[in-house]
Structure 1
Amino acid sequence: MDTEALRSFVRAAELGQFQHAADELGVTQQAVSKRIAALERELETRLFTRTARGVEPTLDGQAFLSHARSIVASADRAVAAVRPGSRALRIDVLGLRSAQAVVMHDYWRSHPHIDLDVVTLRVNDPRAAVAAVEAGDVDASFRTVTDPAALPPGVQMIHAFDSPLELLVGPGHPLASARSLTPPQLRKHRIWVPGIAPRSEWGEFYDQLATEFDLRIDAAGPHFGDEVLLETLAESADVATFVGARDRYIWPANYDLRRIPVADPTPAYPLSLILPGTNPHPELRKIITHLGTLPKLPEPAWRPSWAIPDPPRS
């Protein structure tokens, strides 16, 4: 099986467009298309379906993606083992609009010399991210295993930073004019968080948050993407959602969406970093030092029971 075809498939699946994959790989879009077509003929199945915004993996493509990613990573490790110089630091983030990705982008902008590869594993179960770190497919992952005792011996988990929540609403929502809100003021309002996956860390987070503050968090329906969510908020007079203070969202100006801080206490999503227990990538120490310089949560704050304590600063 052609490794470069697998690499083209993985990057197209992660980036959502053949052209973006081609730009990253330094080849033409036609070359990416031919590689993937040859791979589909070999596997005798379609790997992508075309959408208005690019391409998405089919069900077979989704099933094949983790295996293809593992093969590509193994091939890269084999080459790195005999090639002078260090390889790129590969870090998994939950999404390219997430607070983790924003923090890593800020770090890269101040350290442009670093050879950094930011990826999204597209797995909901954090144990799958742990397995990727353990196997060496990624050097670290911004995920949390809510029971640290379940971590394998060769993997460690440290506190990275906390992401304060904000309420995102459209202009017609009754809370749209608020400058800030307290958790009790959110009661009885519908907070729509579609796509909460079973066994995910964020599923447990929202369960505890709803119980603690008696909130109405609605996870009904499939998640059709951020664009659909933002459009729904813009048109609705009763739907709101939570976003992280550092999460990056962009919407048309006519949506007039409002991001409203929540305080007294500030609910915060605790983000952890999973990394090897021994011989981590040398650049990780600098990343961890940078994470320690990020602003602390405003007090008072609320975090779920499984949050790792913030280490003392020297």
Structure 2
Amino acid sequence: MDTEALRSFVRAAELGRLHHAADELGVTQQAVSKRIAALERELEVRLFTRTARGVELTPDGRALLPHARSIVAGVDRAVAAVGPGSRALRIDVLGLRSAQAVVLHEYWRSHPAIKLDVVTLRVDDPRVAVAAVAAGDVDASFRTVTDPGALPPDVQMIHAFCNPLELVVGPGHPLAAAQSLTPRQLRKHRIWVPGIAPGSEWAEFYDQLATDFDLRIDAAGPHFGDEVLLETLADSSDVATLVGARDRYVFPAQYDLRRIPLVNPTLAYPLSLVLPRTNPHPGLRGIIAHFGSLPRLPETVWLPSWASPSPTH
């Protein structure tokens, strides 16, 4: 059944004149007449009788009216539910402890009225996340395709912000007492980063980082989760790991773990946001503007070759 025919029927019944219904619906009176006539043929009943003052409902028309109103209202609610300005903004992050989730939480705390749905797609290949954006499964994704030319034409990628790295060590590690460290000071120390998935953006990041600074970055062994990683660091005198300064970790007090900034240069992980090229969710505007308010990076920064030329935050 044609819902626009039902809509024309409802407005004509409520207003009593076909031309008033046509004006309100933005169509011609002839279009309204044709819609109602088609509806009458489909139902095999007369819905209106014509009078000198316009149209009046027949008994069948009066019986149909409340049901037609319900159908039209339901269609309107369905359209509103999926409209970008009405439904929750759905954004993919790598994890709920990640810097992306932290930044989104900061924004939501200052804009609590925004309807926000933070999800984790749990995929390592950024192309899968890009496909989810293109398909409308999510409105945006914090992923980086290191070759922007590989993006589909209906998707764009913008620089979001950078996440400076810190070294995390236990109290028995030889670097534990440092207030800050340079990348050169990390040479020959084992940096364990489990869970580096081949083909992921972070695999390429760590490959370049290890090559440029002659670092010993080890991804050996299965990743049993952050809790196991932190426990290993607390008990070790030779294992360290890298985390983002904006990543949220809660260390058990008895572990006495140390987060040590890396400087001269600051090592920074650039984060990008993938979103539709046309008609992005309107809620993204405020979040993208929020990126510009984040603290600026130091002047001396190392970024991988595929990062934006001069990201400032």
> Following superposition of structure 1 onto structure 2, how do residues 153-302 of structure 1 map, counting pairs within 5 Å?
153-302=153-302
Query: Letter of the aligned partner of 1:108 in structure 2?
Result: W
Please say if residues 95 and 120 of structure 2, whose CA atoms lie closer than 8 Å, have aligned partners that are also in contact.
yes
| RMSD over aligned Cα atoms | 1.7
Query: Letter of the aligned partner of 2:197 in structure 1?
Result: A
Matched, 1:90 2:90: yes
Q: Which residue of 2 aligns with 1:111?
A: 111
Please say if residues 205 and 304 of structure 1, whose CA atoms lie closer than 8 Å, have aligned partners that are also in contact.
yes
Compare CA radii of gyration and give the structure with the larger one. Answer: 2
Q: 1:235 to 1:86 in 2, by over 3 A?
A: same
Alpha-carbon distance in structure 1 between the residues aligned to 2:311 and 2:172? 42
Query: Letter of the aligned partner of 2:88 in structure 1?
Result: A
Number of residue pairs matched by the alignment? 236
Matched, 1:81 2:83: no
Please say if residues 90 and 118 of structure 1, whose CA atoms lie closer than 8 Å, have aligned partners that are also in contact.
yes
Q: Which residue of 2 aligns with 1:34?
A: none
TM-aligned CA deviation for residue 269 of structure 1: 0.2
Alpha-carbon distance in structure 2 between the residues aligned to 1:258 and 1:115? 36
Query: Letter of the aligned partner of 1:215 in structure 2?
Result: L
Q: 1:181 to 1:302 in 2, by over 3 A?
A: same
Q: Counterpart of 2:175 in 1: which secondary structure?
A: coil
Deviations for 1:92-151, whole angstroms, at most 9, x for unmatched residues?
000000000000000000000000000000000000000000000000000000000000
Scaled by the length of structure 1, the TM-score of the pair is 0.73
Q: 1:265 to 1:86 in 2, by over 3 A?
A: same
Q: Counterpart of 2:178 in 1: which secondary structure?
A: coil
Matched, 1:138 2:146: no
Alpha-carbon distance in structure 2 between the residues aligned to 1:156 and 1:240? 36
Alpha-carbon distance in structure 2 between the residues aligned to 1:268 and 1:220? 23
Please say if residues 173 and 239 of structure 1, whose CA atoms lie closer than 8 Å, have aligned partners that are also in contact.
yes
Query: Letter of the aligned partner of 1:297 in structure 2?
Result: L
TM-aligned CA deviation for residue 81 of structure 1: 2.7
Deviates more, 1:125-134 or 1:304-313: 304-313
Please say if residues 132 and 138 of structure 1, whose CA atoms lie closer than 8 Å, have aligned partners that are also in contact.
yes
Identity within the alignment, %: 79
Please say if residues 92 and 121 of structure 1, whose CA atoms lie closer than 8 Å, have aligned partners that are also in contact.
yes
Runs of 4+ in 1 over 2 A off after TM superposition: 78-85, 309-313
Q: 1:201 to 1:312 in 2, by over 3 A?
A: closer
Q: 1:168 to 1:79 in 2, by over 3 A?
A: farther
Matched, 1:309 2:298: no
Please say if residues 296 and 312 of structure 2, whose CA atoms lie closer than 8 Å, have aligned partners that are also in contact.
no
TM-aligned CA deviation for residue 79 of structure 1: 7.5
TM-aligned CA deviation for residue 178 of structure 1: 0.1
Q: Which residue of 2 aligns with 1:148?
A: 148
Q: Counterpart of 1:168 in 2: which secondary structure?
A: strand
Consecutive unaligned residues in structure 2, runs of 5 or more: 1-75
Q: Counterpart of 2:103 in 1: which secondary structure?
A: helix
Alpha-carbon distance in structure 2 between the residues aligned to 1:81 and 1:108? 26
Alpha-carbon distance in structure 2 between the residues aligned to 1:233 and 1:178? 16
Q: Which residue of 1 aligns with 2:120?
A: 120
Query: Letter of the aligned partner of 1:162 in structure 2?
Result: C
Alpha-carbon distance in structure 1 between the residues aligned to 2:198 and 2:290? 32
Alpha-carbon distance in structure 2 between the residues aligned to 1:179 and 1:162? 21
TM-aligned CA deviation for residue 311 of structure 1: 6.3
Please say if residues 124 and 200 of structure 1, whose CA atoms lie closer than 8 Å, have aligned partners that are also in contact.
yes
Q: Which residue of 1 aligns with 2:129?
A: 129
Deviations for 1:252-303, whole angstroms, at most 9, x for unmatched residues?
1000000000000001000000000000000111111011111121120000
Q: 1:257 to 1:276 in 2, by over 3 A?
A: same
TM-aligned CA deviation for residue 82 of structure 1: 5.1
TM-aligned CA deviation for residue 312 of structure 1: 8.3
Q: Which residue of 2 aligns with 1:99?
A: 99
Alpha-carbon distance in structure 2 between the residues aligned to 1:185 and 1:113? 46
Alpha-carbon distance in structure 2 between the residues aligned to 1:161 and 1:105? 15
Alpha-carbon distance in structure 2 between the residues aligned to 1:148 and 1:296? 25
Q: Counterpart of 2:143 in 1: which secondary structure?
A: coil
Deviations for 1:27-48, whole angstroms, at most 9, x for unmatched residues?
xxxxxxxxxxxxxxxxxxxxxx
